[in-house]
Amino acid sequence: MLMSTIQAGIVGLGRLGKRYASDLRWRVRGVSLVAACSLQAEELAWARSELGIAHTYLNYEALLNHQGLDAVFIVSSTSQHVPQLIAALRAGLHVFCEKPLGITLADCLQAEAVAARHPTQLAVVGFVRRFDPAYAYAKQQIAAGLIGRPFMLRSQTVDVDAVAGFQMEFVKSSGGIFHDMNVHDIDLARWFLQSEIQTVFAAGGAFKHPAFGEAGDADNVVATCVMENGHIAQFWASRTAAHGHDTQTEIIGTEGVLCVGRNAAAQRVEILDRYGVRQECVQTFYERFEQAFLLQTQDFIDCLLQGRRPALQLRDATRATQAAIALSASLFEGKGVVQTQPLNELEG
């Protein structure tokens, strides 16, 4: 069985898309990356020369029609996620889609509705932290009772200032700092506290880079959230760190606390010099979560090979978007305390 192989294609070969493509080509077992699609001819040239992908397409429909394709990986820009996911499902393919699924609830719910009509195909959105060995270990230890009953989570996504300029270009399409960054912390709150975010209050500003403020976004935000079960969560997102990419999460339970990622060290080296005792930090989310991205892709392929349902469903992505919308409303629309809307009302 291990010898069978999924035929996969990919759409989107930007910075992150290239990582997915390389993993699919060299590091994931049980898959062959047979086709790639991009709007940029030079990205397709890269796929041919560096990865030896024979079949490259400028047109997404052509990718979907590639003979023998089993699954497609969507790593394109956010606004394309839902339409491409729907098209792939309708073409009979399994789909893995980078987060976020969509910026609007309507988009997310539409994707869910189409997926419901293709129940034998997998449609998965990635929340990569769940596959990080540290987060996975924390989850497992909590299940084993190490910290008693968890009731609170504090989580931060902190990016290095050096990428702020890059992020500025994507403010509009990414949906802003809550959709782009805290969406991971939202998912962690749901995962560890096993409830939905109900009430939120957010604050923040463009403290270092006024341009984010002018674009209706922020460079640092914080939030306090209450879950449906009364559990509580605190978030921080920052685009302005000097030291590196610093993703951290504390899960607080009745008998202990687990801190994931408090050590942001790039590698197991300490430097003792005139600056003190120090560790240099990872600089990008990819550097921090490289292994998690690989494990996430492997898990999707293993699900296909083993006929297993993945742990993450589209509904998880919809819920994360819903909370990001509430947080954005609280801060950017000045709505103060905001309640998330029951999904069943929206689904009518």
Residues 170-199 that bind a copy of itself (CB under 8 A): 199
Q: Which two tokens stand for residue 243?
A: 């030291």
**Pairing state between β 220-227 and 232-241:** antiparallel
In terms of phi and psi (left: phi > 0; alpha: psi -120 to 50; beta: otherwise), the region of 230 is: left
Among 42, 169, 273, 345, binds a copy of itself (CB under 8 A): 273
Residue identified by tokens 């989580």 is 155
Window of 39-47, 142-150, 301-309, 313-321 that interacts with a copy of itself by CB under 8 A = 142-150
- Asked if residue 284 binds a copy of itself (CB under 8 A), the reply is no
Residue 292 is a binding residue for a copy of itself (CB under 8 A): no
Q: How far is the CB of 129 from a copy of itself (least distance, A)?
A: 11
* 236 counts as binding a copy of itself under rule CB under 8 A: yes
Smallest separation (angstroms) from a copy of itself to the CB of 163:
14
Which one of 58-66, 175-183, 218-226, 308-316 is the stretch in contact with a copy of itself (CB under 8 A)? Answer: 218-226
Do the beta carbons of residue 312 and residue 301 sit within 8 Å? no
Q: Which of 74, 252, 292, 324 binds a copy of itself (CB under 8 A)?
A: 252
The stretch near a copy of itself (CB under 8 A) out of 39-47, 61-69, 89-97, 235-243 is: 235-243
Q: CB of residue 340 vs a copy of itself: minimum separation in angstroms? A: 15
Stretch that binds a copy of itself, among 54-62, 202-210, 306-314, 316-324 (CB under 8 A): 202-210
Instruction: Please select the residue that binds a copy of itself; options are 234, 305, 313, 315, rule is CB under 8 A.
Output: 234
Cβ-based nearer residue to a copy of itself, 91 or 226: 226
Q: Give 76: exposed, middle or buried? Use CB within 10 Å, 0-12, 13-18, 19+.
A: buried
Q: Is 151 in the site for a copy of itself (CB under 8 A)?
A: yes
* Angle of CA points 46, 47, 48, to nearest 5°: 90
Find the shortest distance in angstroms from Cβ 31 to a copy of itself: 12
Does residue 120 interact with a copy of itself by CB under 8 A?
no
The region that residue 197 occupies, defined by phi over 0 for left and psi between -120 and 50 for alpha, beta otherwise, is beta
Q: How many residues bind a copy of itself (CB under 8 A)?
A: 76
Looking at beta carbons only, is 287 or 347 nearer to a copy of itself?
287
CA distances from 342 to 24, 197, 231, 309, 345 (A): 38, 11, 18, 26, 6
Choose the stretch contacting a copy of itself; rule: CB under 8 A; options: 64-72, 74-82, 184-192, 260-268.
Answer: 260-268
CB 114 within 8 A of CB 86: yes
| Least separation in angstroms between CB 12 and a copy of itself | 23
Among the listed residues 61, 214, 270, 333, the single contact to a copy of itself using CB under 8 A: 270
| Binding of residue 280 to a copy of itself (CB under 8 A) | yes
275 binds a copy of itself (CB under 8 A): yes
Restricting to residues 305-344, which ones interact with a copy of itself according to CB under 8 A?
A: 336-337
Site string for a copy of itself, 16-35 (x = CB under 8 A): ----------xx-x------
How many residues does this entry show for the chain? 348
Helix axis angle for 41-51 and 15-22, nearest 10°, is: 30
Nearest to 131 by CA among 188, 194, 71: 188
Cβ nearer to a copy of itself, comparing 241 with 323 = 241
- How many angstroms separate the CA atoms of 39 and 72, rounded? 16
45 belongs to the binding site for a copy of itself (CB under 8 A): no
Q: For residues 24 and 8, what is the distance between their CA atoms, to the nearest angstrom?
A: 8
C-alpha closest to that of 184 among 250, 252, 259, 129: 129
- Contacts of residue 27, defined as CB under 8 A and 6 or more positions apart, other chains included, come to 294
List, in order, residues 6 or more apart from 178 with CB less than 8 Å away.
202, 221, 223, 237, 324, 327, 328, 331
Contact call for residue 2 and a copy of itself (CB under 8 A): yes
